[in-house]
Structure 1
Amino acid sequence: MPVESTPPALTAERLLALHRDGFVLLPGVLEAAQVRLLRQAIDGLQAQHWDYSGLLDHYKCVFNRDPLWLPFLDPPGVIELAEAALGADCHVIGQTAWRCHPGFRGTGLHLDYLAMALPRRLLADPGFELPMQICTCHLYLDAIDPDLCPTRVVPGSHRAGRAPRPGETQWQGRAAQAVLCGAGDALMFRSELWHAGSDNRTAGRSRYLLQVHYGRRMVAQKFSPYLHWRFNPEVLAAASARQRRLLGEHEEAEYD
């Protein structure tokens, strides 16, 4: 991974975008060699527990399968933003690998998690800063064009205070817009943002994606298969101090 730290001013600018728009695109998070490595690693995955294959190949908790995945829990640019948004003691609540094949149908407009319903007058107040509880990072391993499953986002919709209703396609006159980007770019978005997937309309290309979910310290880590979950000793031995914290090795605090 690149070792250069992200300038604090750039992280602050990106944090402002998360508060204002609900999402921000981070260009060039991964180098070309890392993109190739991840695509090859995804091709080598085997289904476990709740994983599934078909037009969508979906693999959960990949960080626990091999130390190869560890550096992609805290890539430069992404981790600074996650910590700025969710606290220096935030952690990972999931890391999933996706492969969307031709004919795949994307999900409709939705939000991932709404911590609580708040009064509309409060959400409409530009002076009110809505705290974040969970953020997702999409690490794109392809150049995303309109035919290759672009993620669609509705700017500002995190302040709607509710999920989109059936058939709803916009919020306050703003429709979902496709995020077109390059291989190695990353999209960070907050859990209240209205967003959607898109179909794979290509003749023969599959979209490769690595997704990481970050949560505040008090957001539970949900690693399937839950009661039967065991950390891979090889992964823990290879993890850095920050990666171990992201995996749940926290200092003592309330409710521990």
Structure 2
Amino acid sequence: MEAHALLSLGLSALHRDGFLLLPGVLEPGQVEQLKAAISALTPQHWDYNGLLEHYKCVFNRDPLWLAYLDLPGVIELAEAALGEDCHIIGQTAWRSHPGYQGMALHLDYLAMELPEAWLADADFELPMQICTVQFYLDDIDSELCPTQVLPGSHRAGRRPVAGEQQWQGQATQSILCRAGDALMFRSELWHGGSDNRSVDRTRSMLQVHYGRRMIAQKFSPYLHWQFNPAVLAAATPRQRRLLGEHAEAEYD
């Protein structure tokens, strides 16, 4: 299938279901490179470790991470969904160890609440503001923290209430996939993380968050933020734009 047709199918899935599983985005060597890089990270600023390890803004630590900002087959879909002038608003690494308890169903960002009746209209297409891509670095089965998604819930026009597990009769689904696969979802989608019920396996994952040009880049530690000169020197023009080097616009 031609690239244009694949892109159209991907956009249709994001508008219809709110998410899309992209198989085989990473090569085995890239999977191993990322797993090794994540295992070598140490906490900075708001990072933390324990049963869950969470590392923010990893793109600024080493040029190694730059290649995962604009992977072929992913960046084209992000730009089609959010505009050719989109940028990243984060790149986060995770490790979930045995015994980790997952996150409840939630959404990441809702630009505004809208009446569900409007969103139910087949002719109404809700623009995307932020999309996240999760790169899985392990084979994900039912015991190893599968991501939970609720198809179509981006059209609810609101956040889920505590304990809510269904929307319009639709129940959550577990994303079972292979190392190297990626899940892309829009920020209004209800989703969550399940427990690590394995005995001795750790789930490693890299996230990249893409936003429209006018979605602010809020890199912690904020007022004290500085780009790593080695990262900027190694970045391609597209990667520099993703990091925030935009052409002049109305509010610049």
What TM-score comes out, normalization by structure 2 length? 0.99
Q: Say if 2:133 is the partner of 1:125.
A: no
**Gaps (5+ residues) in structure 1?**
1-5
| Alignment partner of 1:44 is 2:40 | yes
Q: Percent identity at matched positions?
A: 73
Which one-letter code corresponds to 1:239 in the other structure? Answer: A
Shift of 1:119: 2.1
Residue-by-residue CA offset, 1:9-58 (whole Å, 9 max, x unaligned):
11111010000000000000000000000000001111100000000011
- Please name the residue that 1:15 is paired with: 11
Q: Distance in 2 between matches of 1:51 and 1:122?
A: 39
Tell me if 1:213 matches 2:213: no
Residue 168 of structure 1 corresponds to which residue in structure 2? Answer: 164
Equivalences for residues 25-174 of structure 1 within 5 A: 25-174=21-170
Gaps of 5+ in 2: none
User: Which whole-Å CA distance do the structure 1 matches of 2:183 and 2:18 have between them?
Assistant: 11
The equivalences for 1:215-254 within 5 A come to: 215-254=211-250
Please, what is the CA RMSD of the aligned residues?
0.7
**Equivalent-residue separation in structure 2 for 1:216 and 1:231 (angstroms):** 21
Supply the AA of the counterpart residue of 2:43: A
Query: What is the Cα deviation at residue 118 of structure 1?
Result: 1.4
Letter aligned with residue 168 of structure 2: Q
Letter paired with 2:31: V
Separation (CA, whole Å) in 1 of partners of 2:211 and 2:54:
21
Task: Report the alpha carbon displacement of residue 120 of structure 1 after superposing the two structures with TM.
Answer: 2.1
Query: Which residue identity does 1:134 align to in structure 2?
Result: I
Q: Distance in 1 between matches of 2:240 and 2:95?
A: 27
Q: What does residue 3 of structure 1 align with?
A: none
What are the Cα deviations for residues 42-79 of structure 1, in whole angstroms up to 9, with x where unaligned? 01111100000000011000000000000001111110
Q: Alpha-carbon deviation of 1:208?
A: 0.2
Structure 2 letter corresponding to 1:245 = R
Q: State the distance in 1 between where 2:212 and 2:224 align.
A: 24
Amino acid at match of 1:232: N
Size of the aligned set, in residue pairs, is 251
CA distance in 2, matches of 1:109, 1:10: 29
